[in-house]
Structure 1
Amino acid sequence: MRLPPAAARLLPAPPPARPGLWPRRGAARPPEQVENKTKGKLQKQICQVVLDHFEKQYTAELGDKWTSVRDVLTCPSCWQYAILLNKFSQSAELENTLCVEGYHPAFQGTLPYLPRSLKCYISRTPRRFPAQKHQTGKLKEYYLLNAASVLPVLALEVKDGEDVLDLCAAPGGKSITILQCAYPGQFHCNEYDDLRSRWLKQTMESFIPDPLVNLITVSKLDGRQIGDFKPELYDKVLVDAPCSNDRSWLFSSDTQQAKFRLVQRKELSSLQFQLLRSAIKALRPGGSLVYSTCTLSKAENSDVINLILKSCTNVMPVDISEMAKAVSQEFTFLSDTQQHELLVLPEKGKAWGPMYVAKLKKI
């Protein structure tokens, strides 16, 4: 999950001369995009400061694997997009079109949890369907996303009637995916940032019909405090935490802002730990929690989970290795991770991720 402006405010303040440190999605034309006059297209420019930082960190953490991962992350033309079909606006014609054009189901086979209502299509070649615009009163037929973003939802295993909290929900892709899988008894989608909260509401209205959308609670609470406000209220909690989004950070437009971002990055693990601790408080005993990020950083992934496991005696790790094994044809995973976690590594032809997923249970 990309770090939104409100989450950035929980970290040390940037210098006064550097406003707008955390870019908002959906800006008209990001300054990091420059026009390619020969092709008439926009090309993203790599931020060398960030790349140099990643080279040092990820060479140490990933070894030889970093080279192939870097080649994908620095080549937007290699990026792939999955198509998540909306069960509330089904179109047999769309599904047939996808099959004719070479798309195939991303998830099939012997997954521990795979509702029949979840339909997500991918192609082995980089291509992108046009995004559908929001139209009041008309549901969208599909949602474009990184296929690895579905894995945290599959790990969460939401069942009909369960009370669910999506702690850091904007822009809403994982919330939409949850609702493709099941009908929660109570579904609470939280987003601390005001702009992103409005975006989240619009996403829900674009995909979920009345009266179901009116039964979903969208709040703007500080995620670090929800556990105190709503203790032991939920069966399942998803913490798609604010993180140093590796894909977007590589294309930062302002070198000085990028440098300060990298300094702030050291504080993110503290925020993530606080969000996880709050999520555990919000869980009922016996409930499950999934933590996810879209960064390769060990400090924001396994280090945060290990700290939670050491400091919270009322949680235990949950094995998700069977899920990883079942989808290994479509995703590349870092080896030598613990059974309760996985890290998706982008590679050409399977350019999904980065995506870290870990699962815990409250006892």
Structure 2
Amino acid sequence: MLTRLKAKSEGKLAKQICKVVLDHFEKQYSKEFGDAWDTIRDILTSPSCWQYAVLFNRFNYPFELEKDLHLKGYHRLFQGSLPYYPESMNCYLSTTPNQLPSERHQIGNLKKYYLLNAASLLPVLALELQDGEKVLDLCAAPGGKSVALLQCAYPGYLQCNEYDSLRSRWLRQTLESFIPQPLVNVIKVSELDGREMGDAQPETFDKVLVDAPCSNDRSWLFSSDSQKAASRISQRRKLPVLQKELLRGTITGKERRSAIKALRPGGLLVYSTCTLSKAENQNVISEILNSYSNLVPVDLKEMARTCTQDFTFASTGQEWELLVIPDKGKAWGPMYVAKLKKQSWAT
């Protein structure tokens, strides 16, 4: 295993930083984060420092691996008393950048664990999933958050939507790798345009997760094709438009659709991205809140307070949103999370 870990580490070191993307990030993030950007940049541009959490699959629990990780100094994530943390979710991490080998997909065999950026569990936990609820994962591929949701509770119905057909196949394979057949029967994988979900299924879901397409800071920094990277940067300003459309749909007159319309009154919506960009995070949610009188933000400061042992949070000035920033010894994120509740009246 040590040989495989060494090979993975060398492979990560061999990645080349894309200067086009880095220069763009330097201009934007040095303004948005000030001196903190120096540390964030150092972590993002050093894959050998990146950490990987190990999320256990409760449907094929790795008891022997759990013992092994304890011996190697791993600890359970969220050791503080989170407002919502189901006993069925077990995630372990190390303070060093060790990475277990990924398990291969084998038809008929459930994987024992999923490797992930630990911060990606925060939007899942913010949903506070309960048994029997109807849940929508609007932008579900590659499926890590869908798998994590199913570690929390047994939903009455889970719709995992992914518009891109190639990514949808990836999503299906992920679910097949982690979820037993009886539970698969309550899961629907769809390939609908997320911007029209509300019209298709109005006020259907108790909980909605919008893990929106975004300018993924980690992967973009290592774009191997400089032409593709330049194209991504030029398209970046259009992403907030798409993100807002996924939340409220295309507006025709006063008609508003998509994730908000798909959520039942009293339900919770969590919006998340894996970018530091204020334009794709705080600005998107601020505009949505200003557009809807029946959406109210839900306080996340208690979640942040009990997670400071494992994560570093940037100050956003709002208690209903979190932004995890990569830090030394806590190389998690970027991960932005905002939590909203839908009231029974609307504008």
TM-score range, shorter chain: over 0.9
CA distance in 2, matches of 1:336, 1:225: 30
Aligned pair partner of 1:50 in 3, 7, 21: 21
Measured after TM superposition, the shift of residue 40 of structure 1 is: 8.3
AA in 1 matched with 2:163: Y
What number of residue pairs does the alignment pair up? Answer: 327
RMSD: 1.4
1:268-347 aligned within 5 A = 268-277=239-248, 278-347=258-327
- Residue number in structure 2 paired with 1:134: 105
- State the SS of the aligned residue for 1:270: helix
Task: Please name the residue that 2:198 is paired with.
Answer: 227
CA contact (8 A) 2:206 2:268 kept: yes
1:106 maps to 77
Q: Which residue of 2 aligns with 1:215?
A: 186
Q: Following superposition, which runs of at least 4 residues in structure 1 exceed 2 angstroms of deviation?
A: 39-42
1:64 and 2:35 aligned: yes
Distance 1:40 1:155, change over 3 A: closer
Aligned partner (choices 332, 339, 342) of residue 352 of structure 1: 332
CA apart distance, 1:255: 1.8
Query: Whole-Å Cα distance in 2 between the matches of residues 337 and 267 of structure 1?
Result: 25
Q: Residue deviations 1:149-200, cap 9 Å, x none?
A: 0000111110111110000000000000000000111110000000110110
> 1:75 maps to what in 2?
46
- Residue in 2 that maps onto 1:162: 133
Q: Deviation digits for residues 232-271 of structure 1, max 9, x if unmatched?
A: 0000000000000000111111222211211100000000
The answer to whether residue 267 in structure 2 is matched with residue 267 in structure 1 is no
Question: What percent of counterpart residues are identical?
Answer: 68
Summarize the Cα distance change of 1:139–1:311 in structure 2 as closer, same or farther, 3 Å threshold: same
CA distance in 1, matches of 2:166, 2:317: 36
Shift of 1:348: 1.7
Aligned pair partner of 2:119 in 141, 145, 148: 148
Q: 1:168-183 residue pairs with structure 2 within 5 A? A: 168-183=139-154
Shift of 1:347: 0.9
Letter of the aligned partner of 1:348 in structure 2? Answer: K
The two structures have a TM-score, normalised by structure 2, of: 0.92
Q: CA deviation at 1:344?
A: 0.2
2:251 is matched with which residue? none
- Identify if the C-alpha distance between structure 1 residues 336 and 192 changes in structure 2 by more than 3 Å, giving closer, same or farther: closer
State the distance in 2 between where 1:63 and 1:42 align: 27
Q: Secondary structure at the match of 1:211?
A: helix
Give me the whole-angstrom Cα distance separating, in 2, the residues matched to 1:226 and 1:336: 30
Secondary structure of the structure 2 residue equivalent to 1:299: coil
Q: Secondary structure at the match of 1:111?
A: coil
- Per the normalisation by structure 1, the TM-score is 0.88
